[in-house]
Amino acid sequence: MKVKDARFVLSAPSWAALPPQTAPEVAFAGRSNVGKSSLLNALLGRKQLAKTSGKPGKTQALNFFAVNPNHEGYPDLFLVDLPGYGYAKVSQSQRASWQRLVGRYVTERAEPRDDRPAPLRAVVQLVDSRHGMTKMDEELLALMLESSAPHLIALTKSDKLGANARQKAVAGIHKHLAPYGLELPVVLTSSEKKQGLHELWNWIETVL
């Protein structure tokens, strides 16, 4: 997709605050600090449209970004930055309520309603290429697989690995998923070095 324009639309801290379903949505999920906001910015070709931070927990709501909004504000697509999973420095109840919100978002928005197609078309789950699937990533995967939307794993920060380690990281994910009978696409990305962005866009366009 050619990104001619991208805009931050709104930040939804609750179900009621979600925007009306006006365009397809692609959601980005992952542990806190895994690089969600950075990947979104890289995909949109914008530096700080989604706020990034060295400190985990920066994104605390579902943030909607419109791709190529027309003059009435209707975009081709929304990219949705989901709150970081498993951020330690918030209360248990706050964490539980995020998980409920994200879980509900990825399931309910992936179902067609009132003769309209489902807005949520795809879920990109980010995993740090240096660490592979951790226990927390597995928990999040289970939550994301509740969604009927197609799923892709994006390995982040691949610039921090050498060529061999990068290939090992990809193989590691496939190996990890095999026992579950899961064959998800896995893409190596680096927001820093702008790697994997074409591949990711191609996949997004195919599932749209």
Ligand X SMILES: Nc1nc2c(ncn2[C@@H]2O[C@H](COP(=O)(O)OP(=O)(O)OP(=O)(O)O)[C@@H](O)[C@H]2O)c(=O)[nH]1
Binding-site size for ligand X (CB under 6 A) equals 23
The angle at the Cα of 31, spanning 174 to 134, to the nearest 5 degrees, equals 45
* CB-nearer residue toward Mg ion: 36 or 166: 36
Query: Which of 33, 63, 125, 147 touches ligand X (CB under 6 A)?
Result: 33
Residue 129 vs 147, nearer CB to ligand X: 129
- Number of residues written out for the chain: 208
Q: Which of 169, 190, 197, 200 binds ligand X (CB under 6 A)?
A: 190
Of 130 and 175, CB closest to ligand X:
130
* Binding-residue pattern over the window 95 to 124 for ligand X, x denoting contact by CB under 6 A: ------------------------------
Whether 169 contacts 129, CB under 8 Å? yes
176 touching ligand X, by CB under 6 A: no
User: What DSSP line would sit under 98-111, residue for residue?
Assistant: HHHHHHHHHHHTTS
Residue 4 vs 130, nearer CB to Mg ion: 130
Residue (of 110, 178, 125, 184) closest to 155 by Cα position: 125
156 part of the interface to Mg ion, by CB under 5 A: no
Positive or negative, the Cα torsion across 160, 163, 165, 170? Answer: positive
